[in-house]
Structure 1
Amino acid sequence: MEEETFSDINGGAVTLQCQFHSSLCSEFVVSSPKVSFWRVMGSTSAVWLGAYVLFFFTQNTAVLSTAIIVTLLGMMVFIHFVKVDHESLLVVGSLGIQVSYSYASGRETTSFIEMNKIKDIVINEAIYMHQIIYYLCVLLKDPSDPDAVSGVVPLFQSSKPRLNCLVKVYKSCQEILSKGS
C-alpha cells in the first residue's frame, strides 16, 4: 500500500492511499484531516458567549437554551452528514467502479457504476470561488447514443485534492480501464 500526502484546493493536507490488488483492481482512498477539537471548542464557545451576552441584556433563559440546543444539533448534523473523513474509489476492470464515503460519525455511503455504463474517466476543470480547480469524474454512456455522454459523476467531492493527486489516480484508472476492455 502506497501512501502519499498532497494538498487540497485550499492548501490543507490530504492523504492518498493506493492499494493495487491486481492488474485489474486498484483502490484509492483520499483522507481529510479529522475534526479539530480546538476548532469545535472555539466555535461552541463563541456561540455560547454570544448567547450569554444576549441573555445578560434580555434576561430571557430561552436564549441560552436555544443556543445550547442549536449548537448540539448543528454539531451532530455536521458530523453525520457533512464531514467526510475518507473517500474511496475501487476500480475493478471487468466489473465497474465503486465509490464510498466515510463520514466522521462512522456512517458510510457506497455507490456502484457498472463498467458497461462507463464511457471514460477524465480530469475536468471548473470555476470554483474565483479560481479554476480540477476534479476527477466518470463520464457515463448515453444508452441511446454510445458516442454521447449522458451524465458526469464527480469523484473526491469532499476532499477536493489538487491536480497532482488527481493525475496519479487518473493514470492508474486509465491503465485498468485499458486492460479491462
Structure 2
Amino acid sequence: MDYQHAQTAGTAGAMGIKESRPARSGQRDSPAGGPGSERRRQSRPSAQAPPAGPAGPRLPAMAEERRFRSASGVPIALRRRQHSASCRELAVRGPRLQLRSLSAATSAVWLAAYGLFAISENSMVLSAAIFITLVGLIIYLHFVKIDQESLLVIGSLGIQVTSSYASGKESTTFIEMGQVKDVVINEAIHMQKVIYYLCILLRDPEDPQGVSEVVPLFQSSKPRLDCLIEVYKSCQEILEQRKTAPQSSEIK
C-alpha cells in the first residue's frame, strides 16, 4: 500500500511537472490579439523572395538592347542608350572575329607556302608566307573588320558617327546639327537584291531646300529594315524636338 501510494504520488508529481511546463509558456499560446501573439508577430522574420540568379551583364540606366539580323542574315545587336531627352546613342554591334575562321585562313596560307617550299626547296617561301600572314592580319584587324558602329545624336550640337575596329581603333566623324537637313531610309539595288540603308542628308549652304551630300550609315553591319526603323524613329524624335524648339521660343 505504501509502495502504491508513493508510486501514485510520483506519477502525480510527474504529471504536475508536465502540466506546469505549458503554463510557463502560456504566453505563446495566448489568443489572437493578446500580447503573446503580438510579440510572436514582431519576432517572426518576414518571408523574402530568393535572390535572383545571374542574368548576364547589367546594362546602364535607360539602356535597351535588341537582336536583329543584317541584310546577309548575320545576327547583330542594336543597343539604345538615352543620356537625356535630347541626347541618344544608338550602336549596332556585329559578330566578333571567330578564332576558328582566323586559324583556318592562316593554316591555308601556310600549307600553300609549305607546298611551294617542297617543290622549290627555297626557305624564302616560308619566310614570305609568315610575313604576308602577319601583315595581312594587321591590315584586316586595323582597317577592315569593324566590330561596332555607333550613332550619337545630340540635339543642340550635332551627330557623331563612330566606327570601332577589331584592333581597338576608332574612326569618328562629327556633323554639326546646322548642316543636317534630315535622316532618311533609302533603298538601293545590290547583287539583284533590294537593300535598305540609313543616311543623313546634308543641307546645301547655297540652297536651303537642296541637298549637298548624302552620308550613309552602318555600311559595315548593314542592318535590315526593321532595325533601321528603330534607329530612324529615335533620330526623328530628336530632330522634331529641335524643329519645335525655335517655334516655342518665338511664341514666348
TM range (shorter): over 0.9
Greater RCO, CA 8 A, separation 6+: 1
C-alpha distance in 2, partners of 1:76/1:130? 33
Report the residue type matching 1:161 in the other structure. Answer: P
- SS at the partner of 1:69? helix
Structure 1 regions of 5+ residues with no counterpart? Answer: none
* Aligned Cα root-mean-square deviation (Å): 0.8
SS, match of residue 79 in structure 2: strand
Amino acid at match of 2:141: I
Q: Which amino acid aligns with 1:59?
A: E
Structure 1 moving runs of 4+ over 6 Å: none
Q: Deviations over 1:118-170 (max 9, x none)?
A: 11000011122221111100000111001110001111111111110000000
2: CA distance between counterparts of 1:61 and 1:133?
48
- The residue aligned with 1:83 is 145
Matching residue of 1:36: 98
Helix, strand or coil for the counterpart of 2:71? Answer: coil
The equivalent residue for 2:230 is 168
Give the match for residue 94 of structure 1.
156
TM-score (normalised: structure 1): 0.97
The SS at the match of 1:147 is coil
Amino acid of the residue matched to residue 92 of structure 1?
I
Q: 2:167 aligns with which of 105, 110, 129?
A: 105
Query: Where do 1:1-181 residues align within 5 Å?
Result: 1-181=63-243
What is the deviation of 1:23?
A: 1.9
The structure with the largest strand share of the pair is 1
Q: Secondary structure at the match of 1:137?
A: strand
Q: Who wins on radius of gyration, i.e. which is larger?
A: 2
SS in 1 for 2:241: helix
The C-alpha deviation readout for 1:18-72, integer Å capped at 9, x for no partner, is: 0112221110010011110010000000111011111111111111111111111
TM-score, length basis structure 2: 0.70
SS in 2 for 1:19: strand
Counterpart code for 2:203: K
Same amino acid, percent of matched pairs: 57
Q: List gaps (5 residues or longer) in structure 2.
A: 1-62, 244-252
